[in-house]
Amino acid sequence: MNNPTPAPASGPDGQLAEIWGDVVSRPQLGNAILIGAVVSLAVYAVALATITPLASTPAIGKALAMLAGIIGCILGGAICARLFQPKRRVVEQIAPGAIWQTEVLDQIAIEGGAIGSVEDLPPAVAQEMREVGLYSVFQDYEQDRARNREAG
């Protein structure tokens, strides 16, 4: 999303904006800022009132209260993470035998020599490759190279 002017979104999330490369809902962002500020300042104020009188020096009491305020920021972030759901879903689906996969394997073969055979892999590695969908890519690549050698 490279467009600096956000388009209104349909649904309860309101307008969406891109901030630091991520998509956020403007109203929920404002609420999250308020929640974070209130929680962190409240924790800081409570810590300042309770810890400073107990500390050996006022400077140490203020430093510990600031540390508590930082913990309050983390607490505010956790609250906002529970209240506001992500605005996007990342789904990785790669079509088997995609052209770019073959191009990558060609590049590996050019730069590094022979790739080897999937038949030579240890069973554990072959199983991992099957689980992530790479075994068939390498197997198809080997078969295509064998056919090309026979034809040419």
DSSP code string of 21-63: TEEEEHHHHHHHHHHHHHHHHHHHHHHHHHHTTTSSSHHHHHH
Distance separating alpha carbons of residues 65 and 57, to the nearest angstrom: 13
Longest CA pairwise span in the chain (Å)? 87
Same domain (yes/no): 71, 115: no
Angle at 36 between CA 35 and CA 42, to 5 degrees: 90
pLDDT tens digits, 101-140: 778 878 887 887 777 788 888 999 889 988 888 888 888 8
Query: What local confidence, expressed as pLDDT, does residue 30 receive?
Result: 93
Whether residue 137 is contained in a domain is answered as yes
Considering 56, 83, 110, which residue would you say is the last residue of a domain?
Answer: 83
Query: What local confidence, expressed as pLDDT, does residue 94 receive?
Result: 62
Instruction: Give me the number of domains the chain comprises.
Output: 2
Whether residue 110 is contained in a domain is answered as yes
pLDDT tens digits, 5-53: 444 444 455 688 888 878 888 899 999 999 999 999 999 999 999 998 9
pLDDT tens digits, 74-109: 999 999 999 988 777 777 666 655 677 778 878 887
Query: What local confidence, expressed as pLDDT, does residue 75 receive?
Result: 97
Q: Calculate the alpha carbon distances from 70 to 13, 20, 123 in Å.
A: 28, 22, 49
Query: What local confidence, expressed as pLDDT, does residue 2 receive?
Result: 45
What's the pTM? 0.52
Same domain (yes/no): 34, 79: yes
Other beta carbons less than 10 A from residue 103's beta carbon: 10
Whether residue 93 is contained in a domain is answered as no
Query: What local confidence, expressed as pLDDT, does residue 97 receive?
Result: 56
Considering 36, 60, 83, which residue would you say is the last residue of a domain?
Answer: 83
Distance separating alpha carbons of residues 14 and 95, to the nearest angstrom: 34
Same domain (yes/no): 28, 76: yes
Same domain (yes/no): 32, 75: yes
The mean pLDDT value for 134-149 works out to 81
Range of the domain at 116: 98-151
